[in-house]
Every structure is written in C-alpha cells, then in structure tokens.
A and B are shown apart, each in its own frame.
Chain A
Amino acid sequence: MAIGNVPYFGSKLESPPNDGEQQKSTAQDGRTAIGKGRCAARGDHVNRRLITELEAICSAKHVLSGAADLICYGKDATWKESRPDVVVLPGSAAEVAAVMSLANREGVPVTPRGAGTGLAAGCLPVHGGIVLSLTRLNRILEIDRRNMYAVVEPGVITAELQRQVEAVNLFYPPDPSSGKVSTLGGNIGCNAGGARCFKYGVTGDYVLGLEVVLPSGAIVQTGGRTVKNVTGYNLTQLIVGSEGTLGIVTKATLRLVPKPESKRTLLAVFDRLVDAGEAIAEVVASGVVPCSMELMDQASIRVVEDYLHLGLPVDAEALLLIEVDGYRETVKRQTGEVAAICLSARAISVREARDAQEADELWRARKSISAALTRIKPTKMSEDIVVPPAKVVQFFSRFQQLREESGLTMALFGHAGDGNLHPSVVTDFRDANEMQRVHLLLADLAKLALELGGTLSGEHGIGTLKAPFLHWELGEAGLDLMRAIKRALDPNNILNPGKMQLDSANLPSTGRLEHE
C-alpha cells in the first residue's frame, strides 16, 4: 500500500473537518480530502459554561485554562504539539466519571494523560477539548504479600511501586525506561515493555483487573485479583494497550512475583554491530533466559558517556548490557554461559559490573539514551520496531547500510533480547529538507521490520505517530474490527479521538510541517 505523502511527522496536528466532511475523505492511499481551513475550530468545544461545570466537579483549583497551562499540557515526549482547551485534574474515580459523563453529553473530546512521557503522541489532544490528568490519583492502595498482588491508582509512578514492593521482598517486573517518571496508568494504556520483558513479559501480563471509566461515564470492574480468570470476555486485556481510547483506568490490580534472590550484570563489548546481533541470536537459542539483554550502539554509547562519564567503551561498535537474575546458583551458572556465548560471538571483552552501584549506573545510562540523543541534534525521532531475535543480525546490517546511504545521524539501541529495537534519527525540525529524508528513512525501517516478520510497535504504542502504518500490518479488516469495537464503547467518539486510525479521517492535512 502506498503511503503517499502523509507527513504525519508534522508537529502541529490539525483537527479534522466537521462530521459532514469526514465521510468524504478516505485513508486508502494516505492522501486525504481534509482542507486546510475547514476544521472544527479549537475552542468551539469549551466555553465558560462548561468550565463552570468542570469546576463544580473537580473544584476550581484543579481546572486549568490559562495560556501557559494549555501550552504545557499540549506537549509530551515527542516533538509534536496539540493544545487542549482546558485541563482537569480530578481527584477520584467519581470525578473522572462525572467529567466523562458531562463530556459525552456535550460532545467534548477528552484525552487522558499520565506523566506525558509517551513516545507516540498518545496523550496529545488532537481535537482539542479536555485533557484529563490522572496524576492526582496516585496512591498505592494495597500490597497483598500473601496473595501477591498490589492495587494501585493510575497516577502512581512505576518506580515508586517497584520500590515499595521490593521493600517487602516482592517484585513488579515491568520496567519501562521512563519508569522513574511514568505512571502505571500510562504503562497500562500502552502495554509498556522495557528491559525486563525478555524474561518476565510485558505490563499486560501483570494486570489482573481494572476499574475503568467508560466514555459514557459508567464505571466498570474488569478481571479480579486472581491469576486465572475466564469469567466473561477478557475485558481487562481489551483495555490494556488501548491507549486510552476505550476507557480511562482509575484503579488497577497488578500481579507481583517473588523478588529474585540474586542478580548479576554483564557488559559485553563488540567491535562489530553484527557480532552483537549474533550473540543475541545465540543467547536466545541457548535456552538461557537473562532478565534483560539490552543493545547500545556506538552513537548511543557516546551520548550517554557524554552525560554520565562512566568510562564506557566509546570506540566499540556495540555493547550488550545483560542482566541475569534468579537463585544464586543458577545465576552463577547462567552468567558463565552467557559470557561464553558472547565471547564465541567475537566479543572483545565481557566483564561483570564491579558492584551494585556500577550496575545502577549502567542501567541509568541505558535508560537515558533516548533523551541524551539530543546532545547531537535537537530533534530526535525513533522507531519501536520488533523483529524476531534470529533476524536481528539482518536488521543490524540493513540498518548500517541505510545509515551509510542516507548520511543521516542515527543510533540504534533497545531490548535486543526480545527483538524490540529503537532505531533513532537525530535531526533539526527546522531543516525541512532533512526532515523529508528522515520520514522516508523511518518508513523504510518500519517496512523492513514487517518484511522480517516483525511488528511496528513493541511498546510505545501507535498514537498518531505510527497510525498511518497500521493498515500495513492489520489490513483493512483488522482496522474495521478495531473501529467497530471503538464505536461500541464510544459512539460519540469523544475519548482520545484521532488516535490509532480509529477515526477514518484523522490524518492531518498534507504538506504541513511544523514551522513552515
């Protein structure tokens, strides 16, 4: 399918036209009929009366409509921008439900937001309206040690839950790199991954039950507190990864596991990127399942070395940061096996982290790569593709080829163990010429991932950034099924509209790049 010239990387997202226009446009070949001026004007949704009603629900202190507030809540961790008309910060599920109910009656879009660290523009209010921040719902309600689950509110920071459960010898494995600042609600919305997925799985694997506010304002309980539950449809897993388009999570019951007794961290250094690729494939095939196996290429190593000065090998083409956890004896044995595999894949050195402090620093380095890339150039654009682990070598060599050919500044890092890689480009959005080339390159990389039998998004979600590629992977039938589900839960299309290709005409008008 031709992608046409959809510059969905355009930063200022346009609202779609009014309903009448929507029927005319089509997403078949990417080009749309959205005219430049003909759109539902921002500010039409929200007027004084609505704000008064919102204040009655959340109290005036928690309803923000100042110019500065709207600017700040119109940005996330992408280079995109889309301002709301008002921001509300409810303090309870009841308030969330009341806001949704009101919005549904009035036809006002509502976009939920956690910490705003998403990488797919998922929390940006494409159609304006209300941004609903979940950050005030930030309590850990319960940690049940005997039954091994925790009940949390969506605004709890991931690292805070990890800290509290580890203090009682339990473990919450999902560990997205943004964990120190991102919220569990956001993690659930994106079915977040992170470095420990290779062994432990993703966020969705740990969600036992949810309390969800539906677009109508109704509050629903899904799942429960048990690991096994086949009572009715699996509504919990419908909501997980739905990126806030089907309901707003106001409570979650999360599965916990016992904290591993021991863990060791290895650093394997490679002269060639493809050798690291081989090591990855071999480790996966060997049957050793490290907790994490993370890749950092030379560009990534250099930016974090610039930031943290840890003495990382800046001349190596790649390094693998591998963590093995479990019982003391198995960890010892597995560490040896992994090291041997890396050496036989021509690693120039393999060593263990000196102590817990160095291990922490190495992980901090790994988690800082994405943001640290703007040390090179200000605009960073990444992909979140997954390829089967055995195909990683092919991806690496093609990546290097594309980098050579394009002359663009690129880095490659990610969760190599499960094949989830973040090829990234740094550029300057003000260089329209280069931006065009970047778009094409990222599209090529996405295509490559699909060709190798992989997928477009392993953990960041689709949001708006990857929406145009959805039909490549899901096909029209798949998209239609998604839309049918969306229509059933949100007939007025008010909850986070404009995402995931769910509106058939959500694509921004052609040719608009930011700052043209």
Chain B
Amino acid sequence: MKSLKWLRVLLIVLGLLPFLTSEVPGQEACREVIDKTNWKEIDGRVPDPLMEWVKNGDFVLHVDELTYAPAEYWPSFVLESRAANIGKYALDENDVIVDAKTGELARSVMGIPFPNVDPADPKAAAKVIYNKHYVSFSSGHKRFTTNIAWIGRSGFEREVEGFFIEAYMTGFPGAERIPNPRDIERYNIITVKKPYDLAGTSVMLWRYLSAKDDVNFSYVPAIRRVRRTTPANRSDGFLGSDFAQDDMTGYDGKTPAFEWKVIGERDVLAPYAYTYPIPMSRTQKGEWLMGRGVEGIHYAYQDGNTSVAPWCPMNTVFVKRSAWLVEGKARDPYYNYGTQYLWIDKELWWPVYKVIHTRSGEFWKFLLITTIALENKETKDRLVLAVDQLIVDVTRDHATYTKQVHPSASMTMFAVVDLNDFTLGGFQKYCK
C-alpha cells in the first residue's frame, strides 16, 4: 500500500513536470505596442506582409529603442575595415570577389569587403550580399545549437535540434594563418541531435571562394554511409520545414547564383531580441561564449496566447533602422522560389526581412531575422549577430522558426575547431 501511495505522488509530480519546466515568459515594457488598433503607425516602416498581419490581428509589434549603437558592436578589425577596404576589392564578370588592382581571387578578406556601396553601381546589390556573408565570417569559426520548430495554427507540431560547426577560411584574422590550397571559403557541418529517428544525420558543406559549385556530403544513419548529394537543391524545404537551405540568415547560397539588384533604401522597424547587449564571456581557449540562461524569443503558442497567430514573436522588439532593399532572382531555372526581396541593415549588413514570391509571382513566404548584440565588459569584446529566424508560409498558413538563443544552449564564436573534421575521414566523427 505504501508503494502505491508513492506511485500516486510520482504520477502527480510527473504530470506537473512539463508545466514546471516550461519557459516562463518575461515581457519587457516597451515604448509602443502596435496592434490592429493602431497599425497605420507602421505603414511603410515594415514590409507589407508584416503590416497586413498586424492589421488583421495576427501580429503585435513592440517598438522600442536600443540602448546602444549597434554599428560599434564589431570586433576591431571589422571597424577598421570600414576604412581600410574602401576600393580594395571588386567583383569580376562572375560576381566573384577579386583584388581590385590585380584581378586575382581575393583569398583573405578581413571584415567588410565593400564598406561603401554606391546604389548606382550595377554590382551594388551583389556587394551588399557579400558584405552580408562576410559579417557572418567576422565572428570567426562557430559552434552552436539550433532548434527548428514547426508551428501550425493549432500550435507546436514538431522540433528538430541540430548542432552546427562552421569554419571560415576568410573574413577574420585567424583565417589568415590557415593554409587554404583549394580556395575554400567555408566549411560547415550540421548534425541532427534529435528527434531519435533523425539523430545522427549529418551534412557537410565545402564552399569555394570562386564560382565553383559547392561540394555536399550527407551521412544518413539508415544507410550508415556518407553519400554525395547535390549542391543545387538549396530551394528544397529543409527536412520538410518552411525553410529552404538558402533561407538561413536571409540568404545562405553563393552570391553568383543570383542576379541581384538594389531597389532602394528604406527606413524599417527591424526585429531585435533585446534592446541591450547580452553578456558574453571568454573561454580558457580564448573563444567568445554567449552567456547561458538567455531566454531568447518566445512565441504566442508558448504562452497559450490565442489572440494572435501562434507564431507571433511575443518579446521581439522592433527598432528603427535603415536598410538596403535588394531584389534577387535565381539563375537556376529550376529554383523553387521566384523573386525575393531582402531588407539588409545598412550599418550591420545583416538581413532583417525577406519576402519570397512563387515562380508565378505570388507572395508566398515571409522571413523575419532577429539581431542580437553581445558584449564582454571586461575584455571589451563586442559582436552583433543575426540569430533566431521565423518564416511564415502564407499559402499553408504555417510557420517554422529557428532558435539559437535559449536558456540551455550557448553559441561559441571565434571557436577553436579542428579542420580535420571537415575532411572525409574527419567527418566520420559525426557519423553514428
């Protein structure tokens, strides 16, 4: 009888566990809340799809001001590159970065390659995209966990957790010391950690500085071997989510794969995770580590809030910024997207929004990319990153978000990585 009593207690505790371990949201007070009653205040300040969602009640925006100047939140070499790289680089006929004087492939670019972009330059948009790529390289090699969650109108559907390792062969000082005989731009490895049936699936990318196509490998536990996969399939849904591979951080493909055009410059309310920088520390190896315990973005379904769309981010703040509006059209005739429009922060070069059309020109998806700033007050290390993303597919009334910022995970920048991992032999470590 005693054992039955304890069993009852255990069942009650187990029953309460999910609720006790749920993230408890904390909403900061902000300067202004924009909802369906005052949506006109954001007319022209956000992309039209977002404005429509606020207007119809699917979204609520918290508008605020940053307590810091994000353009100062770069490592010193990036700040210096804003002067040092003026006129140093150019784009060749294939939209590949070359040394402006010699025309040779630019193998070691520090910081922002094109600090001053002239909108009248026919290659202006491609340069903006390169700046976007190189700011992501400027935080050095990275290790981080990303959770990808599928959200429908009824709420949470499924989740995949992936572990990312990214190694850059250009873009930051540490890369200069790495021998790079094959002119690699970057390597990355993604390993799925959960759910169980996908766990162990790993993909590896070799991307080249030239216009040469990527080399892709994937390891699938079900077949227990590494297989070569096509690098051209970047508009396919990632594991069935609303994201395509190229959607990550706004655009994760090769710059020459698209025709780019600057449409103009816009003032925009850009999404930020916090109005202030969050703490960062250094490891014994000198790596930069985002602090643990940071809540990150939470969404309406997590609060049980049914007054807005389940995927409405509830604690994102929208901050006034200036952005390039860039149009992109894939050169690949089989690419699954039509015309895309990217809003790219003019100071930070991080995309903040993307609007995706179908191949027949209809509005299809909307991507929102959150920015975060990090600071180590002791060492004065500073960084600004694009992190959590939300993509909404309007045709299916469905969304997917990625989450790098959450209490139990931590992102490592200027990470110490073993480049042997990115070889065929080293990749075996990530294969079950």
Please indicate whether A and B come from the same complex rather than being unrelated chains: no
